[in-house]
Amino acid sequence: MKCFIVAALLLATLASGENIFKINITPEEAQQFLNSAQLRGIGDIEYAPKTGENPLPEARNEQGQFVYMGRVIEHPEDYVEEHYDAHQYHGQDGLGQFAYGYKDWNQGKNEKRDETGKVTGSYKYVQPHGRDFVANYYADKTGFHVEDNRPAHLKLPATKTPAVLKAEEEHFKLWGELAAAAGHNPDPYAAEYQQEGRYQPAEPEYQPYVHEEPPYVPGPEETGEPKGFFYAFDYNVPLLRNKEERAELERLRAVNNKDE
C-alpha cells in the first residue's frame, strides 16, 4: 500500500510538470521515479507545446546590422521568435536500470533499461516533407531490433544504381583484360582453383549472435551502498522561425495528417 501511495504521488508530481532533482537516493526510491516516468509511454512521444511567439527583439551590431543571437538577419520582418516548453528527464537506480527522455518542438525520445539488461526505446522527429518519422526499438541478448513507420517500399534492400552497375562493368572488363594479358586468371573461385590439393575456401558456418552481459563488479573507488538519482525539468526554448518556411511545413504536415 505504501509503495502504491508513493508511486501515485510521484506520478502526480511528474504530471504537474514540477521540477525534480534527486541525488543519492536508494535504488528502491529511484525505481519508483523510473517507473513513474515510464508510465508516460515509451512509444507515446509528444512534441514540446508552443507557449507563444513574438517579433525578433531589436539588437544591432557595431555596423548597424540587425542581429539575433549572433546571427545577422537581413530581413527581420520575415522571422518570428517562437517559444516552446521543452522537457527532459533521466534517472538511474544504481543497479543497472535507467530511464531517460526528452521532448523538443520537433523531436522526442524515451528509453529505458530494465533489471534483465533489456533496453527499450522509441524516438520521433518531423521530417523536411512534414511527415513524422517514428522508430521503436529494443536491444537484448539477441541483438538490436528496430521497426519504423516508413512505407514498405522504402524498407526494401538497397539496389545498385546505374553508376554502380557501370563501375562494376568497367571493373570486370579491366580484370578480364589484365588476366588475358597475364595468361592466367587469378580468381580463387575459378574452376582450376577448386581441384584436389588446391585451397578451397570453406563455407562459413552460421552462428547466431547471443550477447552475454557480464555481471557488474564495483570498482575499487566505489564504496558503500549503491545509490540512484532522478531529475526531470521543463525549460523554455526560443526558436528562430522563417514565416514562409513555417507556413510551408505546416501545409505539408496538414496534407500528411489528412492522408494518414
pLDDT digits (tens, 9 = 90+) for 202-222: 666 777 777 777 777 777 887
DSSP assignment of 130-196 equals SPEEEEEEEEETTEEEEEE---GGGGSPP---HHHHHHHHHHHHHHHHHHHHHT----TTSGGGGST
- All three cell numbers of 183, joined, read 595468361
pLDDT the model gives residue 144: 92
How far is it, in rounded angstroms, from Cα 7 to Cα 39?
10
What angle, 0 to 180 degrees and rounded to 10, lies between the N-to-C axes of helices 27-38 and 2-15?
Answer: 50
Residue 124 and residue 134 in contact, taking contact as beta carbons nearer than 8 Å: yes
How far is it, in rounded angstroms, from Cα 120 to Cα 141?
13
Strand partners for 111: 100, 121
Averaged pLDDT, 64-84: 96
Give pTM, 2 decimals: 0.70
H-assigned helices in the chain: 2-15, 27-38, 162-182, 243-259
Q: What is the pLDDT of residues 109-126, one digit of tens each?
A: 999 999 999 999 999 999
Q: What is the pLDDT of residues 233-254, one digit of tens each?
A: 999 999 999 999 999 999 999 9
